[in-house]
Amino acid sequence: MIKEFETMFPRCLWVAKDTNYKEINDRFKLYSTSTETEIDYNEKTFKKDSSDCDAYVYLAQDKTSNKFGYLVFLIENIDVGVCAHEATHICKRMEDHFELERDANEYRAYMAEWYTKKIYEFWNEKVGVSSRTMWNALMVPNAKNVKRYVFGYDVAYDADDFSRCYDLCKFGELTLNDLRKIEQEFPYWKPLIDEWHNLVSAYKSGNYRRVNDIIDSKRDEIIEELKKQSNENH
């Protein structure tokens, strides 16, 4: 998932989370932030960056629009301090490239504040463990064997959890066939996907108690599937 932010500064800002190599490679050329030369960014590099860092930043060019800017990757354990850290990298590179005057402190502070806020804002957009699980099942090959998040993977446990899953389905225009792919990666999702039509109907009508009742009625089946997976892993 990648979001572009409109900015008053000379370069664009993109922030990525729950992404994969193909999504990045299809859209961007990547450059070193220090030398501003194009780099050979491949899947091996992506995996190393994503396993070594909580967050990182590259200079990027959108292949379609040809816009230049900074692409921030958010992986896990993100807090406002991490966002400020990445914003500082961006500000320093902007300062060096555009030769910002030494006494332009107010501009420098405003720039750091703006980048920090936008990066943190995107990380905190409505997303939870269950919707993150759905996204990874669809976007990350063999997701169940890839440890990417401190909280791991899980199903929706109540109407609030389901609201984020529903929003993801709308955002991604997911079909039932797409949802069955999630079930293939995480079989313990099957009981909920079998009831997806009823869950959506109840949620859209505002009957959140009904959503909770449906999920509760499937809890034993979910637990059984989790036990099967646990036994397979051992």
The per-residue pLDDT for range 222-234, each reduced to its tens digit, is: 988 887 776 665 5
Give pTM, 2 decimals. 0.55
Average confidence score pLDDT of the chain: 85
pLDDT reading at 195 higher than 80? yes
Cα(50)–Cα(48) distance, integer angstroms: 5
The per-residue pLDDT for range 99-123, each reduced to its tens digit, is: 877 777 888 888 888 899 889 878 8
pLDDT reading at 205 higher than 50? yes
* Domain chopping of the chain, boundaries: 2-123, 129-233
Q: Calculate helix-pair angle for 208-217, 196-204, nearest 10 degrees.
A: 160
Element (H, E) at 176: helix 176-185
Phi, psi of 17 (to 5 degrees): -145, 155
Residue 18 contacts residue 146 (beta carbons within 8 Å): no
Q: Which residues contact 120 (CB under 8 A, 6 or more apart)?
A: 78, 80, 83
